[in-house]
Amino acid sequence: MEGTFENVLKASSDITKHTTTTTTTTTTTTTTTTTTTTTTTTTTTAAVAVVGGGGEGAVTAVAIVVVVIVIVVVVEAAEAATTAAAVVVVAIVVVVVVVVELVVVVVVVVVVVVVEVVVLVVVVVVVVVVVEVVVVVVVVVVVVEVVVVVVVEVVVVVVVVVVVVVVVVVVVVVVVVVVVVVVVVIVVEVVVVSTSSSSSSSSSRSSSSRSSSSSCSSSSSSSSSSSSSSSSSSSSSSSSCCSSSSISSSSNSSSSNY
């Protein structure tokens, strides 16, 4: 037994000596995650020949080698599974990063589009407001021009009417003055002519009265010589010549009859 145990120890020592461990480090770098995967590969080379002794020792050594190989295989499988899990995790992380980047790009594009639309809308609204303000200013200017033109026309019409009225008043005053002057001249001429006629007529009457008076007087004197009552007739005959003569004649005849 002691020899067998020593052979097992020796075989284990040989297995250890013939076991090569290879460590591979893989570094995967993505945009946001760095994953380091360490793979350990153990290669075991065992020579049954090193196991000396009887058959039991050889079987025990082979069993130990098989167990070691199984352990190594299990460890390698576990490492492979870990590596696969790490790859899956890395893939998931990559997918998540890509999705996040796509989402960020989409969000950025949407935000840019929304901002551009808002800017366009604001620019259009500002342009429309500016155009409306310009139109209102133009309309106000046109209305002011129209009002000014109307006011100027009204002032011109009022001035023309006032000038016409003043001219008409002046013409009427001149006509009235001319008419008054003409009337005054006519009246003065009529008065002058009337005064001249009256004076001439009075002079003629005076002459006629004188001549008639002298004849009446002579007639009276003859009457008074005829009778005393006829003298009263002759004194009343001085008012009119014809009447005096007739009275005088009548007196004479009556005197004669008496």
Helix (H, G, I), strand (E, B) or coil at 229: coil
> What pLDDT is stored for residue 57 in this prediction?
66
pLDDT digits (tens, 9 = 90+) for 26-66: 555 554 445 555 555 554 444 444 444 455 667 788 888 88
> What pLDDT is stored for residue 47 in this prediction?
43
Q: Which of 92, 88, 91, 82 is nearest to 38 (CA)?
A: 82
Work out the average pLDDT over 104-125.
95
Domain ranges of the chain: 2-106
The whole-chain average pLDDT of the chain stands at 72
> What pLDDT is stored for residue 6 in this prediction?
58
Q: Which residue do the tokens 């023309």 mark?
A: 160
Q: Mean pLDDT check: name the lowest of 90-99, 200-209, 233-242.
A: 233-242
Cα 197 versus chain centre, distance = 90
> What pLDDT is stored for residue 64 in this prediction?
86
Does 257 score more than 80 pLDDT?
A: no
The CA–CA distances, whole Å, from 40 to 10, 26, 66 equal 25, 11, 19
pLDDT digits (tens, 9 = 90+) for 122-175: 999 999 999 999 999 999 999 999 999 999 999 999 999 999 999 999 999 999
What pTM value is reported for the model? 0.34
